[in-house]
């Protein structure tokens, strides 16, 4: 069987242990390479570190709070093989994203509910959720460290688009056990103050992203339609 290199930036060991490291396909003996990095200033920096150590053609970048169910690796690799036949210039793949027309594609369990639905075949997308995405290392595509921790799933898709390569979403459901709130309107003043640094960091990523991809705006991401005037507020 082919194997994958998994890279995850970890800042909460207990979360990684209960989610990512509990994934059956990442247990010893499955042959996949797992690289956990900490102390990185951005997702892009973590990805570059992982790429230096990677032993396999495809590097999967995923959050520490993602759980991969039994057989996920077999399903994802089968999806990659099929997608490579349909899209010979395949360079980026994920499990949940947004098509060019703004509609969502993919099937994942996010926090407290299922999003999307099953796909019969891989579909080309212009944005991917950062919970899990894979890049073909020989394509030279990877998250821009300047983006911090946000919007790099869209960044790699636009990199592929600019290079004449393909980015797709595959049917390989997994669980995103995030602790993020779904409705910020329900937060009280103290909770909003606690979340504000994260919101500020996201908006900084938006500003950087819009400068980097001004010619491609607006871009619909799994979270919002992003353009130069978009900013998240709580």
- Give 72-108 pLDDT, tens digit per residue: 999 999 999 999 999 999 999 999 999 999 999 999 9
Contact call for residues 167 and 160 (beta carbons, < 8 A): yes
192 versus 127: the higher-pLDDT residue is 127
198 versus 175: the higher-pLDDT residue is 175
CA dist 95 and 151 (Å) reads 15
CA dist 224 and 206 (Å) reads 11
DSSP string, 105-155: EEEEEETTEEEE---SS-EE-SEE-TTEEEEEGGGT----GGGTTSSHHHH
Q: What is the pLDDT of residue 184?
A: 62
Mean pLDDT of all residues in 187-202: 85
* Largest interatomic CA distance in the chain: 52
Mean pLDDT of all residues in 128-138: 98
CA dist 148 and 58 (Å) reads 22
Mean pLDDT of all residues in 55-66: 98
Q: What is the pLDDT of residue 200?
A: 93
Q: What is the pLDDT of residue 1?
A: 63
Question: What band does 181 get if pLDDT is binned at 50, 70 and 90?
Answer: low
- Model pLDDT for residues 136-150, shown as the tens digit of each residue: 999 999 999 999 999
64 versus 195: the higher-pLDDT residue is 64
Question: What band does 67 get if pLDDT is binned at 50, 70 and 90?
Answer: very high
Q: Is the peptide bond before 218 cis (omega within 30 degrees of 0)?
A: yes
User: pLDDT at residue 129 above 80?
Assistant: yes
Q: Taking all residues of the chain, what is their mean pLDDT, rounded to a whole number? A: 95
Q: What is the pLDDT of residue 232?
A: 87
Mean pLDDT of all residues in 147-173: 98
- Check residue 185 and report its DSSP letter: G
């Amino acid at each position: 069987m082919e194997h994958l290199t998994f890279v995850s930036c970890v800042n909460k060991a207990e979360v990684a242990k209960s989610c990512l490291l509990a994934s059956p396909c990442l247990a010893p003996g499955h042959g996949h390479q797992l690289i956990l990095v900490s102390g990185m200033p951005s997702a892009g920096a973590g990805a570059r570190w992982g790429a230096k150590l990677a032993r396999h053609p495809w590097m999967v970048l995923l959050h520490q709070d993602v759980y991969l169910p039994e057989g996920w690796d077999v399903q994802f690799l089968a999806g990659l093989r099929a997608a490579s036949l349909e899209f010979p210039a395949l360079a980026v793949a994920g499990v949940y994203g947004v098509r060019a027309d703004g509609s969502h594609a993919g099937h994942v369990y996010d926090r407290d509910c299922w999003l999307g639905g099953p796909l019969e075949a891989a579909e080309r997308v212009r944005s991917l959720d950062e919970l899990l995405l894979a890049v073909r290392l020989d394509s030279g595509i990877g998250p821009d460290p300047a983006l911090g921790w946000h919007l790099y799933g869209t960044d790699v898709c636009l990199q592929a688009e600019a290079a004449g390569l393909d980015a797709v979403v595959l049917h390989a459901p997994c669980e995103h056990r995030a602790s993020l709130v779904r409705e910020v309107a329900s937060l009280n003043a103290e909770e909003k103050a606690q979340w504000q640094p994260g919101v500020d960091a996201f908006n900084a990523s938006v500003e950087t992203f819009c400068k980097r991809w001004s010619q491609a705006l607006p871009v619909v991401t799994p979270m919002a339609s992003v353009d130069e005037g978009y900013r998240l507020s709580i």
